[in-house]
Structure 1
Protein backbone atom coordinates (compact mmCIF):
# COMPACT_ATOMS: atom_id res chain seq x y z
CA UNK A 1 0.00 0.00 0.00
CA UNK A 2 1.35 3.41 -0.97
CA UNK A 3 1.51 5.62 2.10
CA UNK A 4 1.74 8.90 0.19
CA UNK A 5 0.80 8.87 -3.46
CA UNK A 6 3.65 10.46 -5.48
CA UNK A 7 3.16 13.24 -8.00
CA UNK A 8 2.25 12.12 -11.47
CA UNK A 9 2.71 13.82 -14.81
CA UNK A 10 2.27 16.53 -15.70
CA UNK A 11 4.63 17.72 -13.00
CA UNK A 12 4.65 21.31 -11.76
CA UNK A 13 6.94 23.32 -14.09
CA UNK A 14 9.60 24.11 -11.46
CA UNK A 15 9.83 20.45 -10.41
CA UNK A 16 9.93 19.29 -14.05
CA UNK A 17 12.79 21.69 -14.80
CA UNK A 18 14.76 20.58 -11.75
CA UNK A 19 14.28 16.91 -12.60
CA UNK A 20 15.50 17.37 -16.18
CA UNK A 21 18.80 18.62 -14.78
CA UNK A 22 19.10 16.30 -11.79
CA UNK A 23 17.94 13.11 -13.49
CA UNK A 24 19.61 13.82 -16.86
CA UNK A 25 16.57 12.70 -18.82
CA UNK A 26 15.62 9.72 -16.64
CA UNK A 27 12.33 9.58 -14.79
CA UNK A 28 12.37 11.17 -11.31
CA UNK A 29 12.90 8.84 -8.36
CA UNK A 30 9.85 7.86 -6.33
CA UNK A 31 11.51 9.57 -3.35
CA UNK A 32 11.53 12.87 -5.24
CA UNK A 33 7.99 12.63 -6.62
CA UNK A 34 6.68 11.66 -3.18
CA UNK A 35 8.39 14.53 -1.37
CA UNK A 36 7.39 16.97 -4.12
CA UNK A 37 3.74 16.20 -3.39
CA UNK A 38 4.11 18.73 -0.58
CA UNK A 39 6.04 21.88 -1.46
CA UNK A 40 7.45 22.46 2.03
CA UNK A 41 8.74 18.87 2.29
CA UNK A 42 10.36 19.11 -1.16
CA UNK A 43 11.84 22.55 -0.49
CA UNK A 44 13.36 21.45 2.82
CA UNK A 45 14.69 18.21 1.32
CA UNK A 46 16.15 19.70 -1.84
CA UNK A 47 17.58 22.67 0.05
CA UNK A 48 19.53 20.32 2.30
CA UNK A 49 20.88 18.15 -0.48
CA UNK A 50 24.61 17.68 -0.57
CA UNK A 51 24.92 16.30 -4.10
CA UNK A 52 25.99 19.59 -5.60
CA UNK A 53 29.20 19.97 -7.57
CA UNK A 54 30.69 22.11 -4.81
CA UNK A 55 31.47 19.22 -2.47
CA UNK A 56 34.94 19.45 -0.95
CA UNK A 57 35.12 15.63 -0.98
CA UNK A 58 35.97 13.58 -4.01
CA UNK A 59 33.02 11.85 -5.59
CA UNK A 60 34.42 8.52 -4.39
CA UNK A 61 34.73 9.71 -0.79
CA UNK A 62 31.22 11.12 -0.91
CA UNK A 63 29.76 7.88 -2.29
CA UNK A 64 31.56 5.74 0.31
CA UNK A 65 30.05 7.87 3.08
CA UNK A 66 26.56 7.79 1.51
CA UNK A 67 26.67 4.08 0.74
CA UNK A 68 27.85 3.14 4.23
CA UNK A 69 25.33 5.46 5.90
CA UNK A 70 22.35 4.14 3.97
CA UNK A 71 23.50 0.53 4.38
CA UNK A 72 23.96 0.93 8.16
CA UNK A 73 20.50 2.50 8.31
CA UNK A 74 19.04 -0.48 6.45
CA UNK A 75 17.85 1.72 3.61
CA UNK A 76 18.04 -0.55 0.60
CA UNK A 77 16.10 2.05 -1.43
CA UNK A 78 18.71 4.83 -1.26
CA UNK A 79 21.70 2.48 -1.08
CA UNK A 80 20.49 0.76 -4.24
CA UNK A 81 19.98 4.05 -6.10
CA UNK A 82 23.51 5.18 -5.26
CA UNK A 83 25.17 1.85 -6.00
CA UNK A 84 23.43 1.61 -9.37
CA UNK A 85 24.15 5.23 -10.22
CA UNK A 86 27.64 5.83 -8.91
CA UNK A 87 29.52 2.75 -7.65
CA UNK A 88 31.18 1.81 -10.94
CA UNK A 89 31.73 5.43 -11.89
CA UNK A 90 33.77 6.05 -8.72
CA UNK A 91 35.60 2.72 -9.00
CA UNK A 92 34.06 0.76 -6.14
CA UNK A 93 34.88 -2.93 -6.51
CA UNK A 94 32.36 -5.72 -5.90
CA UNK A 95 34.11 -6.43 -2.59
CA UNK A 96 33.81 -2.79 -1.55
CA UNK A 97 30.13 -2.64 -2.51
CA UNK A 98 29.57 -5.79 -0.42
CA UNK A 99 31.59 -4.29 2.45
CA UNK A 100 29.40 -1.17 2.58
CA UNK A 101 26.63 -3.49 3.75
CA UNK A 102 28.36 -6.43 5.46
CA UNK A 103 31.90 -5.26 6.26
CA UNK A 104 33.53 -3.23 8.96
CA UNK A 105 36.15 -0.51 8.83
CA UNK A 106 38.87 -3.15 9.08
CA UNK A 107 37.54 -5.08 6.08
CA UNK A 108 40.44 -5.80 3.72
CA UNK A 109 38.42 -4.27 0.87
CA UNK A 110 39.18 -0.78 2.21
CA UNK A 111 42.48 1.07 1.86
CA UNK A 112 43.52 2.79 5.09
CA UNK A 113 42.08 6.25 4.29
CA UNK A 114 38.74 4.83 3.20
CA UNK A 115 38.62 2.63 6.29
CA UNK A 116 38.71 5.87 8.29
CA UNK A 117 35.64 7.11 6.41
CA UNK A 118 33.81 3.85 7.17
CA UNK A 119 34.83 4.04 10.85
CA UNK A 120 33.67 7.67 11.03
CA UNK A 121 30.25 6.81 9.60
CA UNK A 122 29.92 3.87 11.98
CA UNK A 123 30.84 5.98 15.02
CA UNK A 124 28.42 8.75 14.08
CA UNK A 125 25.54 6.34 13.54
CA UNK A 126 26.32 4.04 16.46
CA UNK A 127 27.23 6.64 19.10
CA UNK A 128 26.22 9.96 17.51
CA UNK A 129 29.72 11.32 18.04
CA UNK A 130 33.37 10.88 17.23
CA UNK A 131 35.89 10.18 19.98
CA UNK A 132 39.04 12.29 20.07
CA UNK A 133 40.95 9.44 18.41
CA UNK A 134 38.29 9.09 15.68
CA UNK A 135 38.29 12.85 15.06
CA UNK A 136 42.08 12.86 14.80
CA UNK A 137 42.01 9.91 12.39
CA UNK A 138 39.42 11.69 10.23
CA UNK A 139 41.37 14.96 10.28
CA UNK A 140 44.53 13.07 9.30
CA UNK A 141 42.88 12.26 5.94
CA UNK A 142 40.64 15.30 5.34
CA UNK A 143 40.73 19.00 6.09
CA UNK A 144 38.23 20.82 8.31
CA UNK A 145 35.76 21.61 5.52
CA UNK A 146 35.84 18.01 4.32
CA UNK A 147 35.27 16.75 7.88
CA UNK A 148 32.15 18.93 8.08
CA UNK A 149 30.99 17.46 4.78
CA UNK A 150 31.43 13.89 6.06
CA UNK A 151 29.36 14.71 9.17
CA UNK A 152 26.67 16.49 7.15
CA UNK A 153 26.45 13.65 4.64
CA UNK A 154 25.92 11.13 7.43
CA UNK A 155 23.25 13.35 9.00
CA UNK A 156 21.47 14.02 5.69
CA UNK A 157 21.45 10.42 4.50
CA UNK A 158 20.39 9.20 7.94
CA UNK A 159 17.40 11.49 7.43
CA UNK A 160 16.85 10.22 3.88
CA UNK A 161 16.91 6.68 5.25
CA UNK A 162 14.27 7.57 7.83
CA UNK A 163 12.05 9.12 5.16
CA UNK A 164 12.37 6.11 2.85
CA UNK A 165 11.66 3.70 5.69
CA UNK A 166 8.73 5.63 7.11
CA UNK A 167 7.12 5.95 3.69
CA UNK A 168 8.00 2.33 2.80
CA UNK A 169 9.00 3.45 -0.68
CA UNK A 170 9.02 0.77 -3.36
CA UNK A 171 12.50 -0.04 -4.62
CA UNK A 172 13.43 1.59 -7.92
CA UNK A 173 13.42 -0.92 -10.79
CA UNK A 174 16.94 0.06 -11.87
CA UNK A 175 18.45 0.18 -8.37
CA UNK A 176 20.83 -2.38 -6.90
CA UNK A 177 19.70 -4.66 -4.07
CA UNK A 178 21.54 -5.39 -0.83
CA UNK A 179 23.94 -8.28 -1.42
CA UNK A 180 23.49 -11.52 0.46
CA UNK A 181 25.76 -11.96 3.46
Structure 2
Protein backbone atom coordinates (compact mmCIF):
# COMPACT_ATOMS: atom_id res chain seq x y z
CA UNK A 1 0.00 0.00 0.00
CA UNK A 2 1.31 3.41 -0.93
CA UNK A 3 2.56 5.61 1.89
CA UNK A 4 0.56 8.52 0.48
CA UNK A 5 -2.96 8.33 -0.94
CA UNK A 6 -3.53 8.18 -4.67
CA UNK A 7 -5.50 11.29 -5.54
CA UNK A 8 -8.34 11.09 -8.03
CA UNK A 9 -9.55 13.73 -10.47
CA UNK A 10 -12.15 14.89 -7.94
CA UNK A 11 -9.45 15.37 -5.27
CA UNK A 12 -7.41 17.96 -7.13
CA UNK A 13 -7.92 21.34 -8.76
CA UNK A 14 -9.39 21.05 -12.28
CA UNK A 15 -6.34 22.66 -13.90
CA UNK A 16 -4.16 19.74 -12.69
CA UNK A 17 -6.52 16.83 -13.36
CA UNK A 18 -5.05 15.82 -16.70
CA UNK A 19 -1.63 15.50 -15.06
CA UNK A 20 -2.54 12.28 -13.23
CA UNK A 21 -3.46 10.61 -16.53
CA UNK A 22 -0.93 8.82 -18.72
CA UNK A 23 0.00 10.71 -21.87
CA UNK A 24 0.58 7.38 -23.64
CA UNK A 25 -2.53 5.59 -22.37
CA UNK A 26 -5.33 8.18 -22.60
CA UNK A 27 -7.83 7.86 -19.79
CA UNK A 28 -5.55 5.72 -17.62
CA UNK A 29 -4.62 7.24 -14.28
CA UNK A 30 -1.11 6.31 -13.18
CA UNK A 31 -0.33 5.68 -9.54
CA UNK A 32 2.95 7.58 -9.68
CA UNK A 33 1.20 10.76 -10.81
CA UNK A 34 -1.70 10.19 -8.43
CA UNK A 35 0.73 9.93 -5.50
CA UNK A 36 2.70 13.01 -6.50
CA UNK A 37 -0.65 14.73 -7.11
CA UNK A 38 -0.88 15.26 -3.37
CA UNK A 39 1.21 18.34 -4.24
CA UNK A 40 -0.27 19.67 -7.46
CA UNK A 41 2.50 22.18 -8.19
CA UNK A 42 5.20 19.53 -7.76
CA UNK A 43 3.22 17.22 -10.06
CA UNK A 44 3.03 20.00 -12.64
CA UNK A 45 6.78 20.61 -12.43
CA UNK A 46 7.59 16.91 -12.53
CA UNK A 47 5.45 16.32 -15.61
CA UNK A 48 7.01 19.35 -17.29
CA UNK A 49 10.52 18.11 -16.51
CA UNK A 50 9.82 14.54 -17.63
CA UNK A 51 8.14 15.89 -20.76
CA UNK A 52 11.23 17.94 -21.58
CA UNK A 53 13.40 14.84 -21.13
CA UNK A 54 11.00 12.83 -23.27
CA UNK A 55 10.74 15.33 -26.12
CA UNK A 56 14.01 17.26 -26.09
CA UNK A 57 16.78 14.94 -24.88
CA UNK A 58 18.51 14.84 -28.25
CA UNK A 59 18.14 11.05 -28.21
CA UNK A 60 16.12 8.78 -30.44
CA UNK A 61 13.12 7.08 -28.81
CA UNK A 62 15.14 3.86 -28.68
CA UNK A 63 18.13 5.54 -27.02
CA UNK A 64 15.87 7.35 -24.52
CA UNK A 65 14.26 4.06 -23.51
CA UNK A 66 17.66 2.39 -23.16
CA UNK A 67 18.60 5.16 -20.70
CA UNK A 68 15.33 4.85 -18.76
CA UNK A 69 15.39 1.04 -18.57
CA UNK A 70 19.07 1.08 -17.62
CA UNK A 71 18.29 3.54 -14.82
CA UNK A 72 15.35 1.46 -13.58
CA UNK A 73 17.51 -1.66 -13.68
CA UNK A 74 20.42 -0.02 -11.91
CA UNK A 75 18.23 1.05 -8.98
CA UNK A 76 16.06 -2.09 -9.12
CA UNK A 77 12.86 -0.05 -9.49
CA UNK A 78 10.09 -2.40 -10.70
CA UNK A 79 7.42 0.28 -11.20
CA UNK A 80 9.51 2.32 -13.63
CA UNK A 81 10.79 -0.84 -15.33
CA UNK A 82 7.23 -2.09 -15.76
CA UNK A 83 6.01 1.21 -17.21
CA UNK A 84 8.81 1.39 -19.77
CA UNK A 85 9.11 -2.17 -21.08
CA UNK A 86 6.16 -1.72 -23.45
CA UNK A 87 7.33 1.78 -24.40
CA UNK A 88 10.80 0.41 -25.16
CA UNK A 89 9.31 -2.35 -27.27
CA UNK A 90 7.38 0.24 -29.26
CA UNK A 91 10.64 2.17 -29.65
CA UNK A 92 12.32 -0.82 -31.28
CA UNK A 93 13.95 -2.77 -28.46
CA UNK A 94 13.39 -6.51 -28.58
CA UNK A 95 12.90 -8.78 -25.58
CA UNK A 96 16.49 -10.08 -25.77
CA UNK A 97 17.81 -6.52 -25.48
CA UNK A 98 15.45 -5.60 -22.64
CA UNK A 99 16.46 -8.74 -20.75
CA UNK A 100 20.13 -7.90 -21.38
CA UNK A 101 19.67 -4.46 -19.82
CA UNK A 102 18.23 -6.09 -16.69
CA UNK A 103 21.31 -8.36 -16.47
CA UNK A 104 23.73 -5.58 -17.47
CA UNK A 105 24.84 -7.70 -20.42
CA UNK A 106 25.88 -5.23 -23.09
CA UNK A 107 27.10 -7.78 -25.63
CA UNK A 108 23.87 -7.78 -27.65
CA UNK A 109 24.12 -4.04 -28.31
CA UNK A 110 26.18 -2.16 -30.88
CA UNK A 111 29.18 -0.20 -29.56
CA UNK A 112 27.36 3.14 -29.35
CA UNK A 113 24.56 1.67 -27.26
CA UNK A 114 27.06 -0.20 -25.07
CA UNK A 115 28.67 3.15 -24.32
CA UNK A 116 25.25 4.69 -23.66
CA UNK A 117 24.41 1.95 -21.14
CA UNK A 118 27.79 2.21 -19.41
CA UNK A 119 27.48 5.99 -19.18
CA UNK A 120 23.92 5.80 -17.85
CA UNK A 121 24.92 3.35 -15.13
CA UNK A 122 27.83 5.61 -14.20
CA UNK A 123 25.56 8.67 -13.99
CA UNK A 124 23.15 6.78 -11.73
CA UNK A 125 26.04 5.61 -9.52
CA UNK A 126 27.62 9.07 -9.48
CA UNK A 127 30.80 7.61 -10.99
CA UNK A 128 31.34 9.14 -14.43
CA UNK A 129 35.04 8.98 -15.26
CA UNK A 130 36.81 11.19 -17.75
CA UNK A 131 37.51 8.25 -20.06
CA UNK A 132 33.88 7.12 -20.00
CA UNK A 133 32.67 10.66 -20.66
CA UNK A 134 35.07 10.98 -23.58
CA UNK A 135 33.95 7.62 -25.03
CA UNK A 136 30.33 8.76 -25.04
CA UNK A 137 31.16 12.29 -26.22
CA UNK A 138 32.81 10.74 -29.31
CA UNK A 139 29.40 9.30 -30.24
CA UNK A 140 26.95 11.99 -29.09
CA UNK A 141 26.94 15.78 -29.39
CA UNK A 142 26.68 18.12 -26.40
CA UNK A 143 22.90 18.39 -26.74
CA UNK A 144 22.50 14.62 -26.44
CA UNK A 145 25.13 14.41 -23.67
CA UNK A 146 23.01 16.75 -21.56
CA UNK A 147 19.94 14.69 -22.50
CA UNK A 148 21.59 11.42 -21.46
CA UNK A 149 22.77 12.69 -18.08
CA UNK A 150 19.54 14.58 -17.35
CA UNK A 151 17.34 11.64 -18.36
CA UNK A 152 19.32 9.21 -16.20
CA UNK A 153 19.30 11.63 -13.27
CA UNK A 154 15.64 12.53 -13.76
CA UNK A 155 14.47 8.94 -13.80
CA UNK A 156 16.76 8.19 -10.85
CA UNK A 157 14.95 10.94 -8.93
CA UNK A 158 11.57 9.62 -10.03
CA UNK A 159 12.58 6.13 -8.92
CA UNK A 160 13.52 7.44 -5.51
CA UNK A 161 10.11 9.12 -5.16
CA UNK A 162 8.43 5.86 -6.19
CA UNK A 163 10.49 4.00 -3.59
CA UNK A 164 9.88 6.56 -0.83
CA UNK A 165 6.11 6.31 -1.26
CA UNK A 166 6.06 2.57 -2.08
CA UNK A 167 4.03 3.29 -5.19
CA UNK A 168 2.47 0.13 -6.56
CA UNK A 169 1.95 -1.00 -10.10
CA UNK A 170 -1.61 -0.18 -11.14
CA UNK A 171 -4.21 -2.67 -9.90
CA UNK A 172 -5.20 -3.73 -13.42
CA UNK A 173 -1.59 -4.52 -14.38
CA UNK A 174 0.71 -7.41 -13.52
CA UNK A 175 4.46 -6.81 -13.28
CA UNK A 176 6.13 -7.72 -16.57
CA UNK A 177 9.12 -9.17 -14.72
CA UNK A 178 12.79 -8.44 -14.97
CA UNK A 179 13.00 -10.98 -17.78
CA UNK A 180 10.46 -10.44 -20.52
CA UNK A 181 11.85 -13.04 -22.94
CA UNK A 182 10.23 -16.11 -21.37
TM-score, normalized by length of structure 2? Answer: 0.87
Alignment-derived partner of residue 108 in structure 2: 109
Q: Give 2:159's match in structure 1, choosing from 130, 138, 161.
A: 161
What's the Cα RMSD here?
2.2
Structure 1 residue 88 corresponds to structure 2 residue 86:
no
Q: Cα distance, 1:109 vs. partner?
A: 1.4
Distance in 1 separating the partners of 2:20 and 2:40: 15
Distance in 1 separating the partners of 2:47 and 2:9: 20
Unaligned segments of structure 2, at least 5 residues: none
Distance in 2 separating the partners of 1:20 and 1:81: 13
SS of alignment partner, residue 48 of structure 1: helix
Q: Cα distance, 1:110 vs. partner?
A: 1.0
Alignment-derived partner of residue 7 in structure 1: 7
Relative to structure 1, is the Cα distance of residues 23 and 16 closer, same or farther in structure 2, using a 3 angstrom cutoff? farther
How many pairs were matched up?
Answer: 177
Q: Cα distance, 1:115 vs. partner?
A: 0.3
Alignment-derived partner of residue 179 in structure 1: 179
Between stretches 27-36 and 4-13, larger displacement belongs to 4-13
Distance in 1 separating the partners of 2:3 and 2:119: 33
Q: Cα distance, 1:178 vs. partner?
A: 1.8
TM-score, normalized by length of structure 1? Answer: 0.87
Runs of 4+ in 1 over 4 A off after TM superposition: 18-21
Show CA shifts across 1:51-104 (max 9, x none). Answer: 4433311111111001100111111101110112x1221111111111111123
Which structure has more helix as a fraction of its residues? 2
Between stretches 31-40 and 149-158, larger displacement belongs to 31-40
Distance in 1 separating the partners of 2:26 and 2:163: 27
SS of alignment partner, residue 88 of structure 1: helix
Relative to structure 1, is the Cα distance of residues 144 and 33 closer, same or farther in structure 2, using a 3 angstrom cutoff? same
Alignment of structure 1 residues 10-159 onto 2, 5 Å: 10=10, 12-18=13-19, 22-49=23-50, 50-84=52-86, 86-104=87-105, 107-126=106-125, 128-159=126-157
Distance in 2 separating the partners of 1:103 and 1:32: 29
Relative to structure 1, is the Cα distance of residues 18 and 9 closer, same or farther in structure 2, using a 3 angstrom cutoff? closer
Relative to structure 1, is the Cα distance of residues 52 and 148 closer, same or farther in structure 2, using a 3 angstrom cutoff? same
Unaligned segments of structure 1, at least 5 residues: none
